[in-house]
Amino acid sequence: MQKRYRVLTINPKSTTTIISVFHDEMCMYKLSIQHDDVYRNEIATEVKNRKQKILSHLMDAGINISKLNAVAAVGGLLRPVKGGTYIVTDDVLSDLKIRYNGEHASNLGGIIAYEIAIGLNIPAYIVDPPVVDELSSIAKYSGLPGYERKSIFHALNQKAVARQVAYELDQAYEQVNLIVAHLGNGITIGAHNHGKVVDVNNGLHGDGPFSFERTGTIPSESLIDLCFSEKYSKEEVIHMITTQGGLKAYLQTNTIEATYQKINSEDDYAQTICEALVFQIAKEIGSMGAVLSGNVDGVVLTGQLASSSKLTNQITERINWIADVFIYPGEYDLQALNAGTLRVLRGEEMPKVYSRELDEEVI
């Protein structure tokens, strides 16, 4: 009889921490823990507070953490790595604590997982962190020597839904070509070529379509003018393009729900903005079709905004000539964390080891 495993999964966001406990593939407990303020404390303080709340809620729910076999969390902005499941080591912890590749709530994940796991003498893992870099060599050229394109995207959710679609197609993920569009606070659209994301826009740092709260690509001259206007600091400009742009800026909304109401209304301006969003998403999907030389087995729409049938219908009308369209609304991060961890616990994959020296994994 196959051994059964219990895994705690953790997904830290700016104002919430979402946790689940899985017994094999079955989710036996899930909770979104609310926090008083947007993530802005020192990492040590934030980790301590969130860890205490997680353990407290698990205790209140009657979850016996001594029965856990592993803890898995969303990885943060580390050095570029290949896709896979990584054991949380001192090198991982060090780079998360110094925010090696930037500030983001996901940096808390691996640290919290480790802090909980170490007390139970079980392993902590991160799975497909947002810095997964499988770009083809030619995809890294930016047009300015010394400034390569970066691969920062929703790797965990993209790869999770890609695996599900491959299963629907009765194929392995490594056997299919897919275009996956994650539509959420940020939008990233990746070309998945036989299990590798060979091209994708950097949805965090202003590349690709605008989204719920991010600007996407801004014309270079306009961005230069903004930076040298002396009206804003560097930090303010970064905040503007990563959290204050997109639908939020155009429609003056602060929540996905309010945004849905606007784009589903009869307001002419809101309809124009919705059409512009659809246009940019479809254009990016089309470009990924070119990356795959037209050899596309399916196009996948996922993320929070994929819950809007109006948006997905309009996108589908523009891109269904490329391939069949699969819609997976919401995010599958917790399931993906569990699945990646189970593959390691069951011996189906070897855990990868993060290396600070090589900027790549060592197996």
Helices (H) and strands (E) in the chain, counts: 11, 13
CB 353 within 8 A of CB 363: yes
Same domain, 193 and 288: yes
Same domain, 298 and 343: no
The answer as to whether 329 is a domain residue is no
The answer as to whether 44 is a domain residue is yes
Of 292, 359, 304, nearest in space to 329 by CA: 304
- Give me the half-sphere count of Cα atoms (radius 13 Å) on the Cβ side of residue 190: 32
Q: Determine the pLDDT at residue 360.
A: 45
Same domain, 41 and 121: yes
Q: Please compute the mean of the pLDDT values over residues 353-360 and round it to a whole number.
A: 70
Q: Please compute the mean of the pLDDT values over residues 332-345 and round it to a whole number.
A: 97
Q: How many residues does the chain have?
A: 363
The answer as to whether 347 is a domain residue is yes
Query: How confident is the prediction for the chain on average, in pLDDT?
Result: 93
Same domain, 236 and 280: yes
pLDDT over 50 (residue 61): yes
For residues 272 and 320, what is the distance between their CA atoms, to the nearest angstrom? 22
DSSP sequence for 104-115? -TTHHHHHHHHH
Phi, psi for 73 (deg, rounded to 5): -140, 160
The answer as to whether 211 is a domain residue is yes
Same domain, 168 and 105: no
Same domain, 288 and 338: no
pLDDT over 60 (residue 359): no
The two three-digit tokens of residue 326, written as one number: 């699969």
For residues 227 and 123, what is the distance between their CA atoms, to the nearest angstrom? 45
CB 251 within 8 A of CB 210: no
Same domain, 161 and 249: yes
The answer as to whether 221 is a domain residue is yes
pLDDT in tens, 63-108: 999 999 999 999 999 999 999 999 999 999 999 999 888 888 899 9
Kind and range of the H or E run holding 271 = helix 268-291
Beta bridge partners of 124: 71
Question: Which residues, other chains included, contact 275 with Cβ-Cβ below 8 Å and sequence gap of 6+?
Answer: 314
The answer as to whether 360 is a domain residue is no
Q: SS3 helix, strand, coil % of the chain, rounded to 5?
A: 40, 20, 40
The answer as to whether 363 is a domain residue is no
Same domain, 120 and 143: no
Domain that holds residue 338: 6-131+334-355
Same domain, 288 and 340: no
pLDDT in tens, 21-32: 999 999 999 999
Same domain, 196 and 292: yes
Same domain, 99 and 158: no
Give residue 358's pLDDT band: very low, low, confident or very high (50, 70, 90): low
pLDDT in tens, 149-187: 999 999 999 999 999 999 999 999 999 999 999 999 899
Give residue 259's pLDDT band: very low, low, confident or very high (50, 70, 90): confident
Looking at the chain, the whole-number percentage of residues with pLDDT higher than 90 is 83
CATH number of the domain residue 239 falls in: 3.30.420.40
User: Token match 């010394």: residue?
Assistant: 146
pLDDT in tens, 185-210: 899 999 999 999 999 999 888 899 99
* Domain count within the chain: 2
Same domain, 143 and 126: no
Give residue 129's pLDDT band: very low, low, confident or very high (50, 70, 90): very high
pLDDT in tens, 132-149: 999 999 999 999 999 999
- Per DSSP bridges, beta strands 177-183 and 298-303 are parallel
Q: Determine the pLDDT at residue 255.
A: 83
Q: Determine the pLDDT at residue 77.
A: 93
The answer as to whether 328 is a domain residue is no
Q: Determine the pLDDT at residue 38.
A: 61
